[in-house]
Chain A
Amino acid sequence: QKEVEQDPGPLSVPEGAIVSLNCTYSNSAFQYFMWYRQYSRKGPELLMYTYSSGNKEDGRFTAQVDKSSKYISLFIRDSQPSDSATYLCAMTSGTYKYIFGTGTRLKVLA
């Protein structure tokens, strides 16, 4: 079993839709969680960083962590074509090892 599972997609949604991206994990030691956006042929860009259960909001993005279920989510409101990218989840227990999901490809259709 992989430490982090993420649906590869692709996920296609119409412009303006609410997007839900998810990752599950198996290691209860993970305490710090991140979401990245990666455009084609570019490095990942950090979108959200959280370290506690609950929600964290930043503009159109909301990160949700449920440590009891070992489940994290990223919600994108009012999705735009410019949101079309691959979204990676990542987590760490506080060591130097960050574990990444394989990424979900998102397409927002105009």
Chain B
Amino acid sequence: SQTIHQWPATLVQPVGSPLSLECTVEGTSNPNLYWYRQAAGRGLQLLFYSVGIGQISSEVPQNLSASRPQDRQFILSSKKLLLSDSGFYLCAWTPMVGGADGELFFGEGSRLTVL
């Protein structure tokens, strides 16, 4: 069966520090991968999605970047965190190749607090 792992689960970082959140999917090949941010009362905001290694699409210009160095690995990064980057970050994947009408599965999330 397929599983998705996301880490770290919780982190507290000072303003201006770098960030790296990692996500891996097991039990499938060529998944579409997504990074979302969830803010209280505001729903899920799509940040990045990827349909293959090295292929990243950004939905919202901001202080974050994403990379996909391997088929089942997706990384969210920042060089310098802002207070506004605080939030709950969710990695997700769909099993469809070339399309996105499949079920979307989420990881457990990473809660980031920037102080």
Which A residues are within 8 Å of any B CB, using their own CB?
8, 31-32, 34, 36, 41-46, 49, 51, 88, 90, 92, 94-98, 100-103
Interface residue B44 (Cβ < 8 Å from any Cβ of A): yes
Return the contact of A8 from the options B41, B59, B90, B103 (Cβ within 8 A): B41
* Extra A-B contacts (14), CB below 8 Å, given A92-B100, A98-B104: A32-B101, A36-B106, A42-B108, A43-B90, A44-B44, A49-B103, A90-B44, A94-B100, A94-B101, A98-B46, A98-B100, A100-B43, A100-B44, A101-B43
Residue pair B109, A34 in contact (C-beta under 8 Å)? no
Complex alpha-carbon distance, A103 and B88, angstroms: 15
The residues of B that contact A90 with a CB separation of less than 8 Å are 44, 104
Residue pair B51, A41 in contact (C-beta under 8 Å)? no
Complex alpha-carbon distance, A49 and B46, angstroms: 20
Return the contact of B106 from the options A32, A43, A51, A103 (Cβ within 8 A): A43
**Chain B: interface size category:** 20 to 34
The residues of A that contact B108 with a CB separation of less than 8 Å are 42-43
Cross-chain pairs A/B with CB under 8 angstroms, 22 sampled: A31-B101, A34-B103, A36-B106, A41-B88, A41-B109, A41-B111, A42-B108, A43-B109, A44-B44, A44-B90, A49-B103, A90-B104, A95-B100, A96-B34, A96-B49, A96-B51, A96-B100, A97-B59, A97-B100, A98-B46, A100-B43, A102-B41
Which secondary structure dominates chain B's binding surface?
Answer: strand
Complex alpha-carbon distance, A80 and B96, angstroms: 34
The residues of A that contact B107 with a CB separation of less than 8 Å are 43
The residues of B that contact A45 with a CB separation of less than 8 Å are 106
Interface residue B99 (Cβ < 8 Å from any Cβ of A): yes
Near A by CB (< 8 A), chain B positions 26-43 give 32, 34, 41-43
Residue pair A51, B101 in contact (C-beta under 8 Å)? yes
Residue pair B105, A103 in contact (C-beta under 8 Å)? no
The 4 closest A-B pairs by CB, nearest first: A43-B106, A96-B100, A102-B43, A94-B101
Complex alpha-carbon distance, A92 and B34, angstroms: 14
Near A by CB (< 8 A), chain B positions 42-61 give 42-44, 46, 49, 51, 57, 59
